[in-house]
Amino acid sequence: MKKLIALATIALLLIPVFTVTAGGAKEKQTAAVVREGTGPSWTWDTEPVTLGLYMHEGWYTKRWNPEVNIRDKALLDATGVNLDISMPTGDAQERLNTMIAGRSLPDIVILGWWFDQVRQMQEAGMLYPLNELIDEYAPDFWDIIPQSMVDWYTAPDGNWYQFPNFFWAGEDLERYAEYGVGFQSNAGMFARKDIMDALGITPDDFKTQDGMVNALRKVRGYQYDGHPVHPVYFGPGAVGEFLGWIGTGFFAVPREDADGNLLDMRVQPKYLELVQFMNRIYREGLMSDENFVDTRQQITERMARGEIFLAVMNTADYTSGMRDVVTADPDAQYVWVGPVRARDNAHPWVNSSGLAGWQVNVIPRTSTRPDRAIRLLHYLYSEEGQLLTNFGVEGVTYDMVNGEIRTTDYYIEQGRADPQGTSQKYGDGGGMWWAHNPVFVRALQPPAAQIGEQLRNAIWDASGPYVLNDLAWNNIGPDGGTDEAAIAAEAATYWTAQLPQMVMASSPAEVEAIWRDSVAHIRRLGIERVWEVENQKFQRNKERLGLRYAWPPNQERFGR
The pLDDT of residue 348: 96
Q: CA–CA separation, 51 vs 152, rounded Å?
A: 27
The pLDDT of residue 557: 62
Helix, strand, coil share of the chain (percent; to 5): 50, 15, 35
The pLDDT of residue 20: 35
Helix, coil or strand: residue 32:
strand
Q: CA–CA separation, 303 vs 439, rounded Å?
A: 30
Could you tell me which of 160, 172, 114 has the C-alpha nearest to residue 135? Answer: 160
Please count the residues of the chain.
Answer: 560
Contact by Cβ (8 Å): 150, 381: no
Could you tell me which of 172, 173, 191, 195 has the C-alpha nearest to residue 182? Answer: 173
Tell me the DSSP string of 421-489. Answer: HHHHHHS-TT---TT--HHHHHHHPPPP-SHHHHHHHHHHHHHGGGEE--GGGTT-SPPTTSHHHHHHH
Helix, coil or strand: residue 521:
helix
DSSP conformational letter for 59: T
Note the pTM of the prediction, 2 decimals.
Answer: 0.80
DSSP conformational letter for 250: H
Which pairs with CB-CB distance under 8 Å and at least 24 residues apart come from 435-438? 435/163, 435/165, 435/361, 435/377, 435/380, 435/381, 435/385, 435/389, 436/165, 436/166, 436/386, 436/389, 436/390, 437/167, 437/169, 437/172, 437/381, 437/386, 438/166, 438/167, 438/168, 438/184, 438/353
Per-residue pLDDT of the chain (560 residues; tens, 9 = 90+): 433 333 322 233 333 333 333 333 333 343 445 555 579 999 999 999 999 999 999 999 999 999 999 999 999 999 999 999 999 998 999 999 999 999 999 999 999 999 999 999 999 999 999 999 999 999 999 999 999 999 999 999 999 999 999 999 989 999 988 888 888 888 899 999 999 999 999 999 999 999 999 999 999 999 999 999 999 999 999 999 999 999 999 999 999 999 999 999 999 999 999 999 999 999 999 999 999 999 999 999 999 999 999 999 998 888 889 989 998 999 999 999 999 999 999 999 998 888 899 999 999 999 999 999 999 999 999 999 999 999 999 999 999 998 889 999 999 898 888 888 888 899 988 899 999 999 999 899 887 766 777 787 888 888 889 999 899 999 899 988 899 999 999 999 999 999 999 999 999 999 999 999 999 999 999 999 999 999 999 999 999 888 999 999 887 665 55
Contact by Cβ (8 Å): 499, 239: yes
The pLDDT of residue 69: 96
Q: CA–CA separation, 552 vs 161, rounded Å?
A: 31
